[in-house]
Amino acid sequence: MKKSGTLKRILRYLGRRKLLVLLSVLLAGCSVALTLYLPTLFGDAIDLMTGEGSVDFPAIVALFITAGGVILLTALTNWLMNIINNRITYGVARDIRNHAMKKLQSLPLSYLDSHPEGDTVSRIITDVDQFSDGLLMSFTQLFTGVITVLGTVGFMIAIDRLIALVVILLTPLSLLLARFIASRTHSMFKKQAQIRGEQTSFIQEMTDNQKLVRTYGMEEENIEKFREINERLRAAALKATFFSSLVNPTTRIIYNIIYAIVALMGALTVTFSGGAVLTVGGLSCLLSYATQYAKPFNEISGVIALLQEAIACAERVFELIDETEECADGTLELSDPLGKVELESVSFSYTPEKKLIENVSLTVTPGMRVAIVGPTGCGKTTLINLLMRFYDVDSGAVKIDGTALPLIKRKTLRRNFGMVLQDTVLRNATVRENIAMGRPDATDEEIIKAAKAAHAHSFIKRLPKGYDTVISPASGLSQGQRQLLCIARIMLTLPPMLILDEATSSIDTRTEMKIQDAFAKMMEERTSFIVAHRLSTIKDADMILVMNNGNIVESGTHESLLEMGGFYASLYNSQFA
């Protein structure tokens, strides 16, 4: 994304707060006007005490009282301006985060599967934080600085046009230097943000898989890997910060020269004109304005460095927001489906160069229990992903009750499927809320009934707060207990179609036998797809699909497949030999 395009998008977010931005600019103008008015008051006070024996104390006291009022009013104006700038900045940051999160909900799973989680998290959290810091500094210093420069030039012209002209002519030199340095730091800050995202991703991976790391003794290797990423981040951050920090000292040198020229020219003018052209008080004002004229440029130079980092971070967030969304949703509601599922010449692969499912056709009548078996990587779970439309087929069609999936609204399609996966997914919420995820309006009696059907009620009652216990990584639930809660979730919703993907893989044999009985009752008159490696659990299936290398190589009942003596028989006998 081009830098100019990023700036335009940021301005569009700011455009939604036109009134606040206008108010911020007006307050900045008031603050600058009041600040620039002070040197005039002090210059007048100096002129009232330069003559011998002619100090006008009452007038000086009146000027100081006025100056005190101006200082208080300036402080109030700055306070209000900071409040408004904070509202603008963090409002924009909130909107960008909301848009990024909304986009995350509509991205295809292929994007999430192919991008590190930590990098995505870093874009939404860290990069937006860095962006908001730069934006806040821009509002706090950039507007005020620009108005200060214009105001001081106006006051200097009013006092002495020649000196003001010299200041104006020397100013572009510093601006050209600042622009030259800033234009070369943008890519450095972008690289820094990318490495920071890589680091966040690595840290998340290590914390999520700490047991695996310790099991295989990978601590030293991971520390070394982290050191390598951390060193790259240090080098990138140091380079970006070093080059961006050159702006301030280079502009400061130029403005010190300007200050010296103003002081010299002003002193000569006062001396040779005898105060007729420029008074001592006027020289004092000029020197004060020269200082105030230089100060915004030094501040703006620092802001430019922050803006480079902010824009680089904004680019990364906008890259996420601009990602292609899922294919268009269907328009048809799937209500009370019979459960007839058809696959017509379906082909699919995650990457074009590696074929997976090719030309698969299948018809499942309502109420059938279909088991899907085969070696790891043969396409069992992929077939489930296509049924749920987590992925769209490359060719062919998947149909429910004769309607192709792309014509059906995703929400209604998935609402009619109940899934229990090998990987348990629980929210950071109470046990009750986790079970009722599919039916938030369920009563306590219905939730408890579902938990009993899943044989989870007994261990839930032993938890510190029972059904009100909040589930978190520190809650101490075993993998088997977490899987029972996922089963209870399905027992509560009882959808017309079921998908059980190694649903009892983490449960002990005795509990599994009881749950299998509950599953058998639940699957009555419901179209069910069961993915299993333990072939003993799918003997009663109406149809067993045997997959290998993305194709259905055999299908039939348990007995008929054993009689065939083919691939299924080989798999079965290998487990019970």
Say what the pLDDT of residue 532 is: 78
Concatenated DSSP letters for 465-500? TGGGPBP-TTS---HHHHHHHHHHHHHHH--SEEEE
Question: Distance of alpha carbon 120 from its chain centroid, rounded?
Answer: 6
Q: Which residue has the tokens 């840290």?
A: 203
Task: Give Cα 12 to chain centroid, integer Å.
Answer: 19
**pLDDT at residue 273 tops 70:** no
Identify which of 70, 76, 62 has the alpha carbon closest to the alpha carbon of residue 39.
Answer: 70
Rounded Cα gap, residues 419 and 489, in angstroms: 9
* CA 331, chain centre distance (Å): 30
Q: What is the mean pLDDT of the chain?
A: 81
Task: Report which listed range, 136-145, 236-245, 268-277, 458-467, is most confident.
Answer: 458-467
At position 325, the amino acid (one-letter code) is: E
The string of DSSP codes covering 166-226 is: HHHHHHHHHHHHHHHHHHTTHHHHHHHHHHHHHHHHHHHHHHHTHHHHHHTT-HHHHHHHH
Give the confidence band of 72 by pLDDT, cuts at 50, 70, 90. very high
The mean per-residue pLDDT over the stretch 106-129 comes to: 82
| DSSP per-residue codes, 216-256 | TT-HHHHHHHHHHHHHHHHHHHHHHHHHHHTHHHHHHHHHH
Q: Which residues are within 8 A (CB) of 270 and not within 5 positions of it... i.e. 6 or more apart?
A: 278, 279, 280, 282, 283
Poorest-pLDDT segment among 21-30, 56-65, 101-110: 56-65
- AA letter at 568: Y
pLDDT score of 1 more than 60 = no
How far is it, in rounded angstroms, from Cα 35 to Cα 67?
10
Between CA 538 and CA 530 the distance in angstroms is 8
Is the Cβ–Cβ distance between 359 and 396 less than 8 Å? yes
Q: Residue 565 — left, alpha, or beta (φ > 0 → left; ψ -120 to 50 → alpha)?
A: left
pLDDT tens, residue by residue, 381-421? 888 888 888 888 889 999 998 899 989 888 888 888 888 87
Query: For residue 276, what pLDDT is reported?
Result: 61
Read off the pLDDT of each residue in 106-114 and give the average, rounded to a whole number: 80
- Please tell me which of 2-6, 47-51, 419-423 the model is most confident about, judged by mean pLDDT: 419-423
User: 160 near 244, Cβ under 8 Å?
Assistant: no
- Among the ranges given (35-44, 45-54, 363-372, 379-388), the one the predictor scored with the smallest mean pLDDT: 45-54
Residue 71 has pLDDT above 60, yes or no: yes
Q: Where residue 80 falls among pLDDT bands split at 50, 70, 90? A: very high
Which three-class secondary structure state does DSSP give residue 331?
Answer: coil
Residue 425 has pLDDT above 80, yes or no: no
Q: How far is CA 104 from the centre of its chain?
A: 9
The CATH code of the domain at 3-321 is 1.20.1560.10
d(CA 518, CA 453): 6
Helix (H) or strand (E) holding 346: strand 341-348
310-329: average pLDDT? 84
Q: C-alpha distances in angstroms, 519 versus 28, 269, 336, 460, 527?
A: 69, 99, 21, 20, 12
Q: Report residue 301's pLDDT band, with 50, 70 and 90 as the boundaries.
A: low
Of residues 574 and 75, the one with the higher pLDDT is 75
Mean pLDDT on 335-364: 86
Of the two residues 448 and 42, the one the predictor is more confident about is 448
**Looking at the predicted structure, is the pLDDT value of residue 448 above 80?**
yes
Q: Residue 175: pLDDT above 70?
A: no
Per the CB < 8 A criterion, the answer to whether 520 and 528 are in contact is: no
The residue behind tokens 């589930």 is: 471
Q: What is the mean pLDDT of residues 517-541?
A: 79
Tell me the C-alpha to C-alpha distance, in Å, between residue 569 and each of 8, 79, 225, 559. Answer: 65, 80, 46, 10
What CATH number has the domain spanning 341-576?
Answer: 3.40.50.300
pLDDT at position 519? 76
- pLDDT higher than threshold 80 for residue 436: yes
Whether 76 has a pLDDT exceeding 90, the answer reads yes
Q: 397 has which bridge partners?
A: 344
Q: Which residue has the tokens 């983490």?
A: 506
Report the pLDDT averaged over residues 528-536: 80
Tokens of 354: 């590696």
Q: What is the pTM of this model?
A: 0.68
Which stretch of DSSP H or E encloses residue 263?
helix 247-273
Average pLDDT over residues 502-511: 71
Tabulate helix, strand, coil % of the chain (nearest 5). Answer: 65, 10, 25
Span 125-144, average pLDDT: 79
Tokens read off for 508: 């002990």
**From its phi and psi, is residue 49 left (phi > 0), alpha (psi between -120 and 50) or beta?**
alpha
Domain with CATH 1.20.1560.10 in the chain: 3-321
352 is written with which tokens? 């074009």
Q: Is the pLDDT score of 50 beyond 80?
A: no
Report the DSSP beta bridge partners of residue 369. 528
**Range with top average pLDDT, 85-99, 323-337, 505-519:** 85-99
How far, CA to CA in Å, does 417 sit from each of 427, 485, 526?
20, 17, 10
Q: What does the block give as tokens for 348?
A: 């699919």
Mean pLDDT score, 448-469: 88
Place of tokens 């039916």: 439
Percent of the chain with pLDDT over 70: 91
What is the structure's pLDDT at 42? 74
Q: Which of 365, 327, 328, 359 is nearest to 346 (CA)?
A: 359
What single string gives the DSSP state of each residue in 410-455?
HHHHHHTEEEE-SS----SSBHHHHHTTS-TT--HHHHHHHHHHTT
Q: Which two tokens stand for residue 30?
A: 């008031």
Q: What torsion do the CA atoms of 238, 243, 247, 250 make, to the nearest 10 degrees?
A: 110
548: which 2 tokens? 């290998």
Please, where in the chain does CATH 3.40.50.300 lie? Answer: 341-576
Instruction: Answer yes or no: is pLDDT of 577 > 60.
Output: no
